[in-house]
Structure 1
Amino acid sequence: MKNVGEARETPVGAPQEEFATGERSTRNRVARSILDHGPSTVAELAERLGLTQAAVRRHLDALVTDGVVEARDRPVYGTRTRGRPAKAFALTDCGRDAFDQSYDQLAVDALRWIAEREGGEQAVAAFARARIAAQAGAYRRAVAEAAPEERTEALAKALSADGYAATARSAPVGEQLCQHHCPVAHVAEQFPQLCEAETEFFAELLGTHVQRLATIAHGDGVCTTFIPKGAATAGAAKAAGAARPPKTPKTTHHASASTAGRNPA
C-alpha cells in the first residue's frame, strides 16, 4: 500500500483535503507503532513502517508539536560509542489517551441512559450545551484577546490546545475553521447533539450565523465550519464580555439528527 505524501510534494491535481487525510493516516501509523513497540528511534520507525527517515522525521515533528509524542534520550548500556546517542520518541500521556477508546462506550451508554430516562433527545441536547458552556472560558478569553481579523485563528489555537488540531484558512467571502481531530467523534456518530451544540457555540462566540459543512462524526475527513466575512468584527462585542457568565445560546438554527454536520445546500 502506498503512503500518501511521503518524501514528495502534493500530487498534481490531488485535492488538499485528500492529501491532508493521507498525511494524518500515516502520522497515526507512526504513533501507533510507538504505542505497540515502545519508545523508538527514527531509524527503527522507518524500517518498521517502510518509510524514509526524512518522512518519519517530518511526521514526528508534527506529533511533537501536537503534544502526542516527545523525544527522550535512550539509555546507553555498556561502552558508549562515538557520536550523540539516537533520540527515542515516546508517547505522551495525551498521545496515549488518544488510543484509549474504552471511555467511548461508557459515554455512549451514559447519553443513551439520559435520553431514555431524562427526556429524550432534548435532554441530550441540554447536556451537550452544558458541556460546551463548562469549557467556554478559555475559548472566550482567546477570542477576546485577539484582534478582530485574527479571532478565527485564535479560536483555532484554543481548540488545538484541547486536542482538536484546528486550523483557520481563508475561503471565498469568509473563513473556514477546520478541526482535523475530534476527541468525541465516536460518540457524536450516535449523538449529533454534540456537534450541534458546538456549532451553536461558535455562532454565539463569533456573533454570527455559521455553517457546518462537514464533520468527522459523519465520516468526513475534517470538521469544517464556514464563518462569513466580517464575522470576527461582529463578534468583538460578545467576545469582550468574556468575564460575564455565559448564557444559554439562543440561536435557533439547530440541525436535525438526520442532517447534522452536512451542508444543507
Structure 2
Amino acid sequence: MAEYVPDAVVEPLSDDVSTRDRVARSILEHGPSTAADLAERLDLTAAAIRRHLAVLTDAGHLVAREQRVYGHRGRGRPAKVFALTDAGRETFHHAYDQLAIRALQFLRAAGGAEAVNDFAEQVMEEVRRRFTAEGAEYNAPADALAEVLNEQGYVASLEPVASGTQLCQYHCPVAHVAREFPELCAAETRLFSELLGSHVQRIATIAHGDGVCTTHIPHPVERKVS
C-alpha cells in the first residue's frame, strides 16, 4: 500500500480572517507597506502575505501602487506598496476613537471651545519640537516638515504643482476624532503655516472623507523693487 501523504495544510477560515486583520492593522499603524515589509513585520511567508493582500485588495480594503523611490533607483520595477482605502479603514473597531471623542466632548462642556483649541495646539507640539530639532538639516523647510510627519506616522510626501507644492498625508491617526472636532485639523494647518513661514491652504482631509490630506504650499511671492 502506498504511503499516505497528507494534503498541504490550509489555514482554517477563521485563521485566514484573523491574519488578514493583522495585515490590515499593520498597514494602518505603519502606513503603506510592501509585501516584504509585512512578511518581516508579521513573521509570515511571502506567499501567505501575497495571498492575504490579494483578498484584501479584491475586497476593496487595500489599494496597490508603485513605491515612490527618492534618489538613485536600482534595476527593475519599484516594489508595490499597499495602502488602506476608506473602506478598509472603516472595518476597524473605533473604541479608542470613541473614548477620545467622549473625552473631548467633556473638555468642551467643562472648558468651552477655547479648551478644545488649546488641546489641539498641544497635540501638534511634538511636530513643532521635532521640526525645530531637525529643520536646520534641510535647505527647504517643507522637506523637514514632511520628514517629521513621516516620523509621526502620517506617511507624508511632497508633490510639485505649477503654483507651488502640495504636502500629501496618506494616513491620519486621528481622522475619526477630527471628523467631529475639526479644531485638530485647524491647529495642524496653523502650525504648518507657522513652520513654513508661508500662507498654506488645506485642500482635502481624510477626516472629511477624502483619500489624502492635502495642503497647498504656494511659491514665495517675489516682490519687485521699484
Query: Any conservation in 2 of the 1:114–1:123 contact (CA below 8 Å)?
Result: yes
Amino acid at match of 1:137: R
* 1:214-243 superposed Cα distances (whole Å, 9 cap, x missing partner): 000000010000111128x9xxxxxxxxxx
> Runs of 5+ in structure 1 lacking a partner?
1-23, 52-58, 63-98, 234-265
Aligned to 2:60: none
Moved over 6 A (4+): none
CA distance in structure 2 between the partners assigned to 1:107 and 1:221 by the alignment: 22
- Contact 2:163 2:219 (C-alpha < 8 Å) held by counterparts: yes
Determine which of 94, 107, 114 is the counterpart of 1:114: 107
Match of 1:46 in 2: 50
Match of 1:207 in 2: 197
| SS of alignment partner, residue 97 of structure 2 | helix
The aligned amino acid for 2:170 is H
Aligned CA distance change for structure 1 residues 103 and 50 (closer, same or farther; 3 Å): closer
Query: Deviation at 1:157?
Result: 1.1
* Counterpart Cα distance in 1 of 2:164 and 2:181: 29
Give identity over the alignment, percent. 44
Name which of structure 1's ranges 39-48 and 184-193 shifts more when overlaid on structure 2: 39-48
5+ unaligned residues in a row in structure 2: which ranges?
1-26, 56-63, 68-91
> SS where residue 160 of structure 1 aligns?
helix
Which residue of 1 is the match for residue 124 of structure 2? 132
Contact 1:214 1:220 survives alignment (8 Å): yes
Please report the TM-score for the alignment, with normalisation by the length of structure 2: 0.61
Q: CA deviation at 1:208?
A: 1.4
SS in 1 for 2:207: helix
Question: Aligned-pair distance for 1:131?
Answer: 2.2
Which residue in the other structure is 1:219 paired with? 209
How far apart are the structure 2 equivalents of 1:44 and 1:135? 37
1:77-92 equivalence runs, <5 A: none
